[in-house]
Amino acid sequence: MTESESNPQKSKNRLRQGSLGVAAITFFVISAAAPLTGIAGGTPVGMLLGNGAGVPFAFLLITLLLLVFSVGYTRIARYINNAGSFYAFASQGFNGRIGAATAYTAMLAYITMQIGLYGLFGAVTEGTIGALFGLYLPWYLYAGFCVLLISIMGYRKIELSMKILTLLVILEYLAVFILDLLIVGKGGASGNGIGMTSFSLHALLSGTPILGFLLCFASFMGFESTTIYSEEAREPKKTVPRATYAAVLAIGIFYTVTTWLMVEGAGAERLVETIAGLKTPDGVPDPTLFIYSLTDKYAGSWLTLPIQLLFVSSLFAALLAFHNATSRYFYVLGREGLLPSHLGHTHEIHQSPHKSSIMQTIISILFVALFALSGIDPVLGMFTWMTNTGTLAIISIMALVSFAISSYSLRMSDQGKEFFTMSVMPVFAGVLMTMIAVLVSRNFDILIGADPAKPYTVVMAYLLPLSVPAAAVFGFIIGSILAKRNPSAYRELGKNQID
C-alpha cells in the first residue's frame, strides 16, 4: 500500500502515486515518439529531402546524443520528483522566472505537437477508410472524433491509457519487425544480402545532411516525457532513469535498424529516385507510400493492410501520450500558481488531472476547427507547421535544461560524486542541442516547405520560430508577477512533490 492510499487526506488533489512502473512509462514515451508514424511518415521525407541512404547513420548518431543528454537528465530526476519535468529542473537549476519561461515554452511544444498530429491523423484516416471502404469523409470529422475519444481516456485513470498504448506499441513493433525479417530473408533489393552502405561517411554527408539530422531528431519527440510521470511512478528514483534509457534505446535501435533495412530493401543507389516517384492515384507525390511499396514487394497485401491500420493507431497512440503529458503540465502549473488554480486539481476517484485534460481538449477542438475553416492542408500545413514548431521548442528547452542541470549540480553538497555526470556531460549536451536549435531556426522555411508563390507560408516561416522565444518571454513575465504577488509560492516552484 502506498503512502497516498494509506492517507486519503494527503492523497487528495494528487496524481495517482505508485501507479506506473518502468514498462508503463516506457510505453507512454515510445507511443509519443510514434515509431510507425516516424517510419511511414517522417523517414521517407528525411530520405528524400535530407541525406538519402545516410538516414540510418544519422539516427544512430542522434541516439548517442540523446543518451548523453539522458545521463544528466536522469540524475537530476533522482533529486527532483515533479511532474513539471523541464520546468521543475529549470526552476531549481536557475530560478523561478526561468522555470516559468521553460514551462510556457514546454506548453507550446506539447500543444503544437498534438495539434499537428491531429491534422495527420485526420488525413491518414480519411485516406485509409476511403481506400478500404470507399467512404470519404472530411479529415476534420475523423480528427474531431479522435479528440473526443482521447478526452474521455485522459479524464479517467491513467492505467486505462497505459493498457491501450501498450497493446498498440507492441503491434506496431511486431508489424515492422516482420517486414525487417522479410527484407533480410530475401537479401534486400539485390538479393545478395544486406550491405552497410548506409553507415559510410559518404552516405551520411550526401544530399542535405542537416535536414536529415533534423528530421531524425524530430522522430524522437516525446522521449523526454519520462520525468513527467515521476509523481505517478513506483520508486521514481529508479523507475524514471530506467524508463528513459529503455525508451531512448528502444526508439533509437528501432529507427536505426528499420531505416537501414528500408534502404537495403529499396536499393541504396536508387532510393531517392524511388521515393520521389511515389504518387497517389490522382498523381500527387506522396513519400509516405514508401513503406507500403516495401510491404507490397516483400510480403503482399497481407502485411500492407495491417500496417495501414497500424499507421492510424500509431497516430492515435501518439496523440493520447501527448494529451496525457500536456494535461500534466497544465496541472502542475495550475497547482504552483503559473496558470489558473482550478487547473491544479485532480479527480477525486481517478486522481487524473481532469480539469487540465478538459482544457487541452478545448484547445484541440478550437485548432482543428480553425484549420478546417481555413482550408489549409492538414498535412502540408497543420501537421508540418505545428510539429516542426514543437520540435524547435523541445530542442531549445533541452539545451536550457542541460545547462540548468549543471548549475544545480554545482550547488549540491555532494557535488563531487556527480561532477562528471551532472556538470560536464550536460554542458556538452547543451552545446550540441543549442547548435541543433540554431540549425532548425535557420532552415525552418525548408522544413515547412515555404513557397514564395504562397506568401502566407513565407510569413509562417518567420512567425512560427518566433513563437518559441515569445512563449519564453511571456512565461518569464508570469513568473515575475508571481514573485511579486506571492513570494512564498514563487519560492516553491519546481520543488519535490513526493519524498
| Total-model pTM | 0.86
Selected residue with higher pLDDT from 16 and 210: 210
Report the SS3 class of residue 407: helix
Give 64-86 pLDDT, tens digit per residue: 999 999 998 888 888 887 766 78
Highest mean pLDDT among 24-38, 87-101, 301-315: 87-101
Structural fold of domain 13-491: Amino acid/polyamine transporter I (1.20.1740)
CB neighbours of residue 254 within 10 Å: 24
Q: What is the dihedral of CA 460, 464, 465, 467, to 10 degrees?
A: 140
9 pLDDT tier (thresholds 50, 70, 90): very low
**Rg (the chain; Cα; Å):** 22
The confidence score (pLDDT) of residue 21 equals 72
The confidence score (pLDDT) of residue 2 equals 41
Q: What is the dihedral of CA 459, 464, 466, 469, to 10 degrees?
A: 170
Selected residue with higher pLDDT from 148 and 226: 148
Closest CA to 249 of 70, 72, 21: 70
Cα 239 vs. chain centroid, distance in angstroms?
20
CA separation for the pair 220, 399 (Å, rounded): 15
pLDDT above 90 covers a percentage of the chain that reads: 42
CA separation for the pair 267, 467 (Å, rounded): 41
Mean pLDDT for the chain overall: 85
The confidence score (pLDDT) of residue 16 equals 57
Q: What is the mean pLDDT of residues 305-315?
A: 88
CA separation for the pair 436, 217 (Å, rounded): 9
Selected residue with higher pLDDT from 125 and 36: 125
Is the pLDDT at 373 greater than 70? The verdict is yes
C-alpha cell at 496: 519535490
Is the pLDDT at 428 greater than 50? The verdict is yes
* Crossing angle (nearest 10°) for helices 236-266 and 22-33: 40
CA distance to 104, 426, 480, 496, per residue, from 487 (Å): 20, 30, 10, 18
Q: What is the mean pLDDT of residues 467-480?
A: 96
Domain ranges in the chain? 13-491
- DSSP secondary structure, 152-194, as one string: HHHHS-HHHHHHHHHHHHHHHHHHHHHHHHHHHHTTTTTTS--
Cα 109 vs. chain centroid, distance in angstroms?
9
C-alpha cell at 234: 513506483
Is the pLDDT at 294 greater than 80? The verdict is yes
